[in-house]
């Protein structure tokens, strides 16, 4: 079996937050809780969930921009859980990131040559080699190398995100974390950037961790998908299994909300009422029970195990795959006296 490039085991991140203005009361916010998964080299894993589910914190933990509270991260056979910033610098060659906002993530005062070339310069590449590599990656992402001495404001939003991708590619990394990489772009541009990422992933055998709140976007690029809710992975499956046979009620609600005709023909519309509970005060039992349309008394007290449904398929629910009430049924119930 191929060795995992990235292996995350029981990863947890808690933050201490002030509950009163004067800081007299403190509480623990559980952003990521006992998250485990492996990624094979060349795989794209999508992480999806609503805002506040912990997916961005998870990405930042893997990038080691945050220190975990518990659990471990292994990258390419090395335990990187507690590496210092200085020790991580060496690994920056192998792990790169593409951020959400192509407007604010690029320094407007620098030229594109300096922006894409900065990681190369940090690793001691010569000026001539930097120019050569910058031109090369600009071509890979569909930009004209003869525009490398312009500033980012001379480029459109989609082109700026291509600059961000070129910068991430410059050091020829093994893993790229894409955090909401297309969320700030128009829908038509999103598709171009997603196609570009898929092409690059294939051409270079890159491993991509793709984080988004948008399941339609995640589906476009991912081999496997992990669904997060309140800091935990509640279902992990191949893209095909997840869409053809979603097991967790939350996954089914998310899929039913994807605005794609081909999905709605096959899937019931599942209502998803209520707010996400506070991660400062998560509910006991199953974290989804306050919103789950099929919750039973047991769900409010017993946390379901994260169990293997089939090889490479995990789900955390006491009643996986059970039929859910549709919008039509729920509306009828509400109309009854
Ligand atoms: Fe719903 Fe219960 Fe499954 Fe949680 S364990 S998702 S509340 S059915």
Encode pLDDT of 151-188 as tens digits. Answer: 999 999 899 999 999 999 999 999 999 998 888 888 88
Which residue ranges form the domains of the chain, and what is each CATH number? 6-94+173-335 (3.40.50.300)
Residue 320 CA, closest ligand 1 atom number: 3
Ligand 1 center to residue 246 CA distance, Å? 13
Higher pLDDT, 223 or 334: 223
Long-range Cβ pairs for the range 212-215 (8 Å, 24+):
212/46, 212/47, 212/48, 212/180, 212/181, 212/182, 212/183, 213/48, 213/49, 213/50, 213/51, 213/55, 213/180, 213/183, 214/48, 214/183, 215/48, 215/254, 215/255, 215/257, 215/258
**Residues ≥6 apart with Cβ < 8 Å to 277:** 230, 283, 287, 290
Residue 116 bridge partners (DSSP)? none
Coil/strand/helix, residue 145 = helix
Q: Which of 271, 293, 319, 325 to mutate to test the pocket of ligand 1 (most atoms within 8 A of CB)?
A: 319
104-141 confidence digits (pLDDT tens):
778 889 999 999 999 999 999 999 999 999 999 999 99
Among 295, 305, 314, the mutation site with the greatest number of ligand 1 atoms within 8 A of its Cβ is 295
**Do residues 39 and 55 lie in contact, with contact meaning Cβ atoms separated by under 8 Å?**
no
User: Residue 326: is its pLDDT beyond 70?
Assistant: no
What pTM, to 2 d.p., does this model score?
A: 0.90
């Amino acid at each position: 079996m191929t060795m995992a490039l990235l292996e995350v085991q029981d990863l947890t991140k808690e933050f201490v937050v002030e509950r009163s203005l004067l800081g007299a009361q403190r509480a623990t916010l559980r952003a990521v809780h006992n998250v485990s998964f492996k990624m094979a080299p060349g795989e794209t894993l999508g992480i999806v969930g609503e805002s506040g589910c912990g997916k961005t914190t998870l990405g930042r933990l893997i990038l080691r921009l945050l220190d975990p509270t518990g659990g471990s991260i292994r990258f390419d056979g090395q335990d990187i859980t507690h590496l210092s910033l200085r020790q991580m610098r060496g690994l920056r060659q192998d792990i790169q990131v593409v951020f959400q906002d192509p407007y604010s993530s690029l320094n407007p005062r620098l030229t594109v040559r300096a922006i894409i070339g900065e990681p190369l310069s940090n690793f001691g590449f010569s000026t001539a080699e930097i120019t050569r590599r910058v031109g090369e990656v600009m071509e890979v992402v569909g930009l004209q190398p003869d525009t490398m001495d312009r500033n980012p404001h001379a480029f459109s939003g989609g082109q700026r995100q291509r600059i961000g991708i070129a910068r991430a590619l410059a050091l020829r990394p093994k893993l790229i974390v894409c955090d909401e990489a297309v969320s700030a772009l128009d829908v038509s541009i999103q598709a171009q950037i997603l196609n570009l990422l898929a092409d690059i992933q294939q051409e270079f055998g890159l491993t991509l961790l793709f984080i988004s709140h948008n399941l339609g976007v995640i589906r476009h690029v991912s081999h496997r998908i992990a669904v997060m809710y309140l800091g935990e992975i509640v279902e992990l499956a191949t893209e095909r299994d997840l869409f053809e046979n979603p097991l967790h009620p939350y996954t089914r609600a998310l899929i039913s909300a994807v605005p794609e005709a081909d999905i709605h023909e096959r899937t019931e519309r599942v209502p998803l009422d209520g707010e996400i509970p506070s991660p400062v005060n998560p509910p006991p039992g199953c974290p989804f029970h306050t919103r789950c349309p099929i919750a039973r008394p047991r769900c409010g007290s017993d946390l379901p195990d994260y169990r293997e449904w089939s090889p490479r398929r995990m789900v955390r629910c006491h009643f996986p795959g059970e039929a859910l009430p549709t919008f039509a049924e729920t509306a009828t119930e509400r109309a009854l006296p």
